[in-house]
Amino acid sequence: MDSSHEIDTGLVDEFINFVRAKGVLRFGEFTTKAGRLSPYFFNAGLFNDGDSLRQLCEFYAKAIYASGIGFDTLFGPAYKGIPLAAGTAMALSSMGRNTPFAYNRKEAKDHGEGGTLVGAPLAGGGTNSGRVLIIDDVISAGTSVRESVEMIRAAGATPVGVVIALDRMERGSGELSAVQEVENSFGIPVISVAKLTDVIRYLSGQSELECHLNAIRAYRVRYGIN
């Protein structure tokens, strides 16, 4: 299927309302891992109860459907991707699509079934053609995605895309963002429920939040990509 479809603006705004209400998206002054002073902070670790995880994974499922991307199995890289893949599989099931999922261990198990992969076989079989969609929270340096792609290919399957909650649209060490580097390196799309440009648009319509707009726009001019 064509994976170039845009996610509906209403769904994006609903997602931003949700992450704001949960305190996952906050505005102010925050220092990033890269040492940058950021006017916003997105902390996916705060999706830490059953209800918030359920709602988050419903947004993932809706974004996947909206993208039109074709896939057979979900893959969640350890550790954050594990509950995200499982929860998204359940959300897709409630929407009428029963989807296999798998994840990896950080360390190989040398007894029982052994190995580093757990869950559904990635290479598929029968009507499953081995197309694997990676589920993660954000892409920072892209390390998790690179490791996932290697594991998926080593298992005889094909990575077809990545789904994340927020695309920061921020440059890494070069001129490209981590998301663009993943897309260029592996030739797969990265689907995000929301992008930083969506957050900027959202703030423009919220009188009590517009005070953060100038700082975020300035940050985007300094560190952002087109």
Active site amino acids: 109, 111
Joined tokens for residue 200: 């900027």
| Alpha carbons 124 and 18: distance in angstroms, whole number | 35
Show Cβ contacts of residue 212 under 8 Å, excluding neighbours closer than 6 positions. 27, 39, 40, 203
Show Cβ contacts of residue 190 under 8 Å, excluding neighbours closer than 6 positions. 139, 161, 162, 163, 164, 167, 179, 182, 183
The CA-atom distances, in angstroms, between 8 and each of 14, 56, 160, 165, 198 are 10, 16, 22, 15, 11
The CA-atom distances, in angstroms, between 7 and each of 51, 63, 67, 110 are 23, 6, 7, 43
User: CA end-to-end span of the chain, whole Å?
Assistant: 26
